[in-house]
């Protein structure tokens, strides 16, 4: 079944509107949502990833679940590939609507900001927010294209959107062996020049 059609049921479960015994309910919901968002293909997957309510629900679940459990889920599924997919789909959406794209980027940024906050108490989350430079560069590039399109249509671009995507890229190269090499060479060249 399409993820979006199950979302209201999932929400009922989360808000205890459905009265059933369900141990570690929120952990399960988080795992289910992240996995479905990441893995659902086709039109239903695209619709789910580009729906603000999915990102809002994800944020609520992240707040409700213990950091350790969040880290486990993100280690298994990762968040960056999900953001990367969403960004590509958001770019396609700009042809039809800019308002929904803005809302979507708001939702995405809120999730990433929250994760950065949780990462302060659970270090392994930082690691799970990293991905390969290829994926993060692709996400950043696509975001810059979306930014350009939104600017062209006089839509306000919010600072948290920028910070969220730039941080993803920085996270991908932080500690990277090549990046270290570049920095050491920069220092070497700087010393030579001065």
Partner 1 sequence: MIWSEKCLRPATTLLMDPNADSALKKVLESMIAEYVFSPEILYPTTSTQKQAAAEPSTQDLIPLLAPLREEDTSMSGTSELVNIPYLPLLFRISIDSQSTKRCKADMSVVNILFTALLSVSPILDLRSEVLGVSAAGGDIVALLLQVLTKTGTALPSTTLSRIITKFANLTSQDPNQVRWLLIREILTIDFDSFLHPSVASLTSDLFSALSRATPSELVSNVLELVVDGFVKARDILKFVDQWTKRLKSGSEEDVWRGDALARVFAAKVESSLTSPQILKTVNRLREEQQWVILDAVLRGLRREDTETQLLATGVLEAVVEAARKDAAEWRAWRLLVRIGDIKPELLVPAIEDAVWLLRADNRWKEAVFASEVLMRVLDRTDDEDALEGVNMVVDMAAEALEKLQGWDGTIATVDDQNFGLAVAMAVTGGYLSVLEEIDRNHRNKFVDSLFQAALITQDSSASTVNARQICQAMVGKPEIYEYPAVKGIGVLASVNSKPFNDRIQTQYYLASLQASLHFLQLQKIC
Residues of this chain that bind partner 1 (CB under 8 A) = 133-134, 137-138, 140-142, 144-145, 147-148, 151, 157, 159, 162, 166, 169, 181-182, 185-186, 188-190, 192-194
Q: Residue 127 or 182: which CB sits closer to partner 1?
A: 182
- Which of residues 123 and 144 has its CB atom nearest to partner 1 in the complex? 144
Scanning 94-176, the segments in alpha helix (DSSP H) are 99-119, 124-128, 133-152, 159-173
Residues 6 or more apart whose CB falls under 8 angstroms from that of 71 comprise 122, 124, 125, 128
- Minimum distance from residue 127 beta carbon to partner 1 (Å): 20
Measured between alpha carbons, how far is residue 122 from residues 67, 74, 75, 112 in Å? 6, 12, 12, 14
Least Å from the CB of residue 150 to partner 1: 10
Query: Closest distance between partner 1 and the C-beta of residue 28, in Å?
Result: 36
Question: Is residue 79 within 8 Å of residue 129, measured between CB atoms?
Answer: yes
User: Do 27 and 65 form a contact (C-beta atoms < 8 A)?
Assistant: yes
Q: Which is nearer to partner 1, 24 or 189 (CB)?
A: 189
Q: How far is the CB of 176 from partner 1 (least distance, A)?
A: 11
**Based on CB atoms, which residue is closest to partner 1, 30 or 86?**
86
DSSP state, residue 94? T
Q: In the complex with partner 1, which residue's Cβ is closer, 1 or 193?
A: 193
Tell me how far, at minimum, the Cβ of 48 lies from partner 1, in Å: 25
CA distances from 37 to 47, 85, 146, 150, 169 (A): 10, 9, 21, 25, 21
Q: Is the dihedral of CA 39, 45, 46, 50 positive or negative?
A: negative
């Amino acid at each position: 079944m399409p993820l979006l059609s199950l979302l209201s049921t999932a929400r009922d479960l989360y808000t205890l509107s459905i009265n059933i015994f369900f141990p570690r309910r929120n952990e399960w919901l988080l795992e289910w949502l992240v996995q479905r968002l990441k893995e659902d293909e086709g039109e239903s997957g695209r619709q789910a990833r580009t729906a603000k309510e999915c990102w809002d629900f994800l944020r609520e679940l992240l707040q409700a679940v213990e950091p350790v459990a969040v880290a486990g889920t993100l280690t298994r599924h990762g968040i960056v590939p999900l953001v990367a997919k969403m960004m590509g789909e958001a770019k396609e959406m700009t042809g039809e609507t800019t308002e929904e794209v803005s809302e979507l980027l708001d939702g995405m940024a809120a999730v990433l900001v929250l994760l950065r906050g949780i990462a302060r108490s659970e270090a392994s989350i930082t690691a799970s927010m990293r991905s390969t430079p290829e994926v993060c560069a692709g996400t950043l590039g696509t975001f810059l294209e979306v930014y350009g399109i939104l600017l062209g249509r006089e839509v306000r671009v919010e600072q948290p959107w920028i910070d969220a995507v730039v941080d993803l890229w920085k996270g991908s190269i932080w500690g990277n062996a090549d990046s270290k090499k570049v920095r050491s060479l920069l220092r070497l060249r700087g010393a030579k020049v001065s």
